[in-house]
Amino acid sequence: MSQIFNLPDVGEGLTEAEILSWKVAVGDTVAVNDVLVEIETAKSVVELPSPYAGRVEKLMAEEGQTVEVERPIIAISAGGAAPEQNASPATTEPASRDAKDAGAQQAALVGSGPKADSVKRRARKRPEPVSAEPAASFPLPSKHVASHALAKPPVRKAAQDMGINLHDVPPTGAQGQVTKKDLLNYAAHMALPQATQPGESPSSFWQATEISDDRIERIPVKGVRKATAAAMVKSSFSAPHVSIFVDVDASRTMEFVKRLKKSPQFEGIRVTPLLILAKAVIWAAARNPQVNATWTDSEIQIKHFMNLGIAAATPRGLMVPNIKNAHELNLRELAIALNDLTARAREGKTQPAEMSNGTMTITNIGSLGIDTGTPIINPGEAAIIAFGTIKEKPWVVSGEVIPRWVTTLGGSFDHRILDGDLSARFLADVASILEEPALLLDM
């Protein structure tokens, strides 16, 4: 009997994941907890262990394919029967009712798997086939079909977000469904500056022209990039941003970092000015608690704990893992946590739990040689701090111009929660620590 392993929700409400690489092949024998496949979700790369022991019978999804949560991805023969040699990787339905039952009753993985109260979806009826007009040489828009436009839920959601009526998009799917490629191509053509001629419909114009320039590189929007885009658009258009900036004499921070590097307590630990800024943000948030908050329309939730997010540029895109309960860590512990967090992010090993429940974020644009910027607030938070590069510049001290190490802090704040004066007080408190880090010794 085949035991069907469905793609679990390994994050918090994720709807799909991409199959990156299979770690087993048809015919392999696997034990419980052996790694079957590596997947990429909107938040991280995750290895899925097997909930069953047996022989791999079918791989039901291909590498590079995006699969919806709770869809079958692999069949494992419990009795060790010979595998099907001609199994199609594109198969997406269990072979029998028993297989469906086995898939529905699969053991939940630790920290993953479908929710216990998940509702089974009703099988969708296929529409009656409709013949195309004889003169049409290109698939007709689905508005010519008597039934509603066929499309997967992610495509429907994307069309809704883009303001596109799926009935206007010519489908090319095998069953007459609108695919992601159809939707993106339609959106691209609708954005072209050429207007249709009088009496010419948009669909006929679209059929007559096709983007085929091989100078255009096409990168699928998925995984971290897709999630980041959605989050930034949501934050940008839902939270009214106010941004402020302050130049800071960070000369004493630079001296403090040098002393820490020589300290036996920090031997073997990487110490940078980012460590001092992180501690300064925690300290300033304790003095101004409302910056560490979430807006919910009905209430403002002030968090009396700090899960400090650090924006990290990785090969997979921008990720913002956070240090849980950073307010409880001393300077040495915070340095270790920062190093571990950034190393895992760059290696692509950040787990979904590390990306959730952040309360405030730092983006270290100074590491790229940038002076300042207007960062977009991470959704669910009220503030984000941009840390600019530290440069030696002329600075006035006691009426004299002398060279000092200067940086610029930029902060973006949710104006629904924070007024200008509170935002300014918070950023000024952060700046005061960079100007005199010895204040941290009292913490």
d(CA 440, CA 425) in angstroms, rounded, equals 18
Contacts of residue 200, defined as CB under 8 A and 6 or more positions apart, other chains included, come to none
Contacts of residue 381, defined as CB under 8 A and 6 or more positions apart, other chains included, come to 294, 309, 358, 359, 360, 361, 414
CA angle 14–15–19, rounded 5-degree value: 95
Contact 8, 68 (CB under 8 A): no
φ, ψ (nearest 5 deg) of residue 415: -70, -10
Contact 52, 32 (CB under 8 A): yes
What's the token pair of residue 116? 């216990």
The reply to whether 415 belongs to the active site is yes
Positive/negative CA dihedral, 102, 105, 109, 115? positive
Catalytic residue among 144, 189, 241, 415: 415
Which residue, 253, 284, 273, 249, is CA-closest to 383? Answer: 284
d(CA 337, CA 320) in angstroms, rounded, equals 14
First vs last C-alpha separation in the chain:
62
d(CA 336, CA 277) in angstroms, rounded, equals 15
What order do you get walking across the sheet with 54-59 strand by strand?
Answer: 2-6, 72-77, 54-59, 29-30
What's the token pair of residue 434? 């960079």
Dihedral over alpha carbons 52, 53, 57, 62 (to 10 degrees): 50
b/e map 244-283, b = 16+ CB within 10 Å? bebebbbbbbbebbeebeeeeebeeeebbbbbbbbbbbbb
CB atoms within 10 A of CB 56: 21
Contacts of residue 302, defined as CB under 8 A and 6 or more positions apart, other chains included, come to 289, 290, 292, 293
**Per-position DSSP letters for 406-434, written without gaps between them:** EEEEEEEEETTT--HHHHHHHHHHHHHHH
Active site residues: 415
